[in-house]
Structure 1
Amino acid sequence: MDFRNYKEKYRAALKSANMKENTIKTYCGCMQMYFQHFKKEAEPKAVSAEQIKFYLSGLSSPAYQRQMYGALKNFYIYVINQPKKLQYVPFAKREEKVPIVLSQQEIERIILATNNLKHKLIIILLYSFGIRRQELIDMQFSWIDRQNMFLKVKGKGNKERLIPIQERILNIMEQYYKQYRPNQYMIEGAKGAKYSPTSISKIIKRAAAKAGVRKEVTAHTFRHSYATHLLDHGISLREIQVLLGHSSSKTTERYTTVSSVHLNQLYSPIQSINL
């Protein structure tokens, strides 16, 4: 069994399904590992569901099992035309972990400890909009609606959502624009390329260490903190779901509450932070 015979067809299928390049790369890597394991089989169709089940159970972690499951499911649906191949193969359950949440005082210390304007803006945007790291990387200046004070965000599966912008956050974004003059993306790397995910992680870790915050801080920590602080101010679960771009309320249920306010009048936790 040779993955090279299927690679381009698989890549094209994932691309037509509007998957991001990073996801396509990850899934293709998973399939290479899968084909290496079953290289003695003549064809992918020859691998039984029971063999797949045993293979998945032997992978290093539940997270990797879920990733491989996703890669295999798409492969057998789009390339091999066996949509029911994994029907009775169990999907590894996600470990229920309590998310790390920063206090507003800790976030304020991290922001104030960051002198570089671009680095400061990265942290401010992650927290004030509760966006994912990749959403920040993909963000463009043209997505700002100054008239209605909204920012368009493209999430997973290219799903778009609108998040209210605070006046002072817009002022910081415009101050940053005047200094750095980015061409397309909000935060650009060398020669106008998209910013590196690794660089964002390093900026956050350095800022947290400098601020004396001992918790493990990642880009997603600001997203968890954003949702939790909205909850603390009485914002409803449904509104938090919309702001975070969750397709299911179950994903948002860790931040349970009841409230009802129009989106563009919502409190933003960045209002309580000194910038």
Structure 2
Amino acid sequence: FPDGRHRHTLFERGSYHLLEPEFQELIDFYRLHEKQRGKKESTIRGESLNTASFLYRMQEQGARSLDEVTEDAVLSFFVSEDGLLQKGCSHKKNISAVFKAGLKWKEPQCRRILGFLPMLRETRKNIQYLTQDEVRLLRDAAEDTGFPARNKAVLLLLLFTGLRGCDIASLTFGSIDWEKERILVDQQKTSVPVEIPLSAVAGNAIYDHLAEERPDTGNPRLFLTETHPFSPLAARSIANIVAKACRLAGIRQEPGDRKGTHIFRHNLASSMLENGVPQPVITQTLGHTAPDSLEPYLRADFVHLKECALSIEDFPLAEEVFSL
């Protein structure tokens, strides 16, 4: 029997089909409303699933309508009886998105439940960043004779554009405007188009790949597999290219070292911040849809973080401390 947790062959994933009619109506309204606004389908699905789980918990607590949802029941979804946090900020944001859309459907009921949602602070792990030595070693690796021209172009695009791996994999001949020296991309994550400069170093690498190495298959994708039938390169293959580059450069080989494609995006944002590039420009370059998406990168902006350091001259410390 379906229980809302395990996949059942007769039902879609999630708790939606176990909900009371009014709860289902809220999610249905949200889906239609956000689809009309152009929100990405995967985002709508994720927010709907989280909210269905939330409403199913309210249902288990005895609520059969939005009017019957209590503050205690809402808080019990996020915090256990012994005070431990069960659901984090991302869950709250997803649930909030559905109820905010619901304000246009049943404003009093949805506003009331929005007021019950707890104030949760979003926490992020510190992200490993690329050092300047690592960047130099990666660029040296790209020039190695054993490193294919395709891989070199991919690596330099990651270093100099900040594009996501999935967006690099989806690049076509039409994505490159050689005359205006621009790269045009419809981002897969946000579906928002972004236009970024094509640097000479990345542009030359792409040209070398096209002129010297890429087979003429009629496929519009820039990057293809190395073997027949020369299919379009998958996003996961971009991560494999990065792993090969790191091995060739002799960096990030310890367990737990981060060597995915996102580290290059982080490196570009941090470098731009350190060089005083205005945050709106960085947000536009990275194709972020929300200004607060830049927050994780601010934590690695050591140049400006040092400006916030406080003097310790007024604190009584032994002279030996300063001599170390």
TM-score by length of 1: 0.69
Query: Displacement, 1:139?
Result: 4.5
Distance 2:277 2:45 in 1: 37
Larger radius of gyration: 2
Say how many residue pairs are matched.
Answer: 256
1:93 maps to a residue whose letter is R
Residue of structure 1 aligned with 2:127, choices 96, 99, 110: 99
Equivalent residues of 2:74, 2:116 under 8 A apart? no
1:46 aligns with 2:89: no
Match of 2:16 in 1: 3
Q: Taking structure 1 as reference, are residues 77 and 123 closer, same or farther at Cα in structure 2, changes over 3 Å only?
A: same
Q: Which deviates further from its counterpart, 17-26 or 200-209?
A: 200-209
**Residue correspondence of structure 1 range 194-205 to structure 2 within 5 A:** 195-196=234-235, 198-205=236-243
Residue of structure 2 aligned with 1:31, choices 43, 51, 67: 51
Equivalent residues of 2:223, 2:233 under 8 A apart? yes
For the aligned residues, what is the CA RMSD?
Answer: 4.0
Query: Displacement, 1:100?
Result: 1.8
Query: Displacement, 1:26?
Result: 2.5
Distance 1:160 1:256 in 2: 31
SS in 1 for 2:88: helix
Equivalent residues of 1:30, 1:68 under 8 A apart? yes
1:129 aligns with 2:161: yes
**Residue correspondence of structure 1 range 7-18 to structure 2 within 5 A:** 10-18=30-38
Q: Which deviates further from its counterpart, 93-102 or 203-212?
A: 203-212
1:3 maps to a residue whose letter is Y
Q: Between the two proteins, what is the percent identity of the paired residues?
A: 19
Higher normalized contact order (CA 8 Å, seq sep 6+, divided by chain length): 1
Equivalent residues of 1:237, 1:253 under 8 A apart? no
Structure 1 residues 123-147: Cα deviation after superposition (integer angstroms, max 9, x where no partner): 3222211133454455544232222
Match of 2:264 in 1: 222
Match of 2:198 in 1: 165
Unaligned runs of 5+ in 2: 5-14, 18-23, 305-324
Match of 1:57 in 2: 79
Equivalent residues of 1:126, 1:132 under 8 A apart? yes
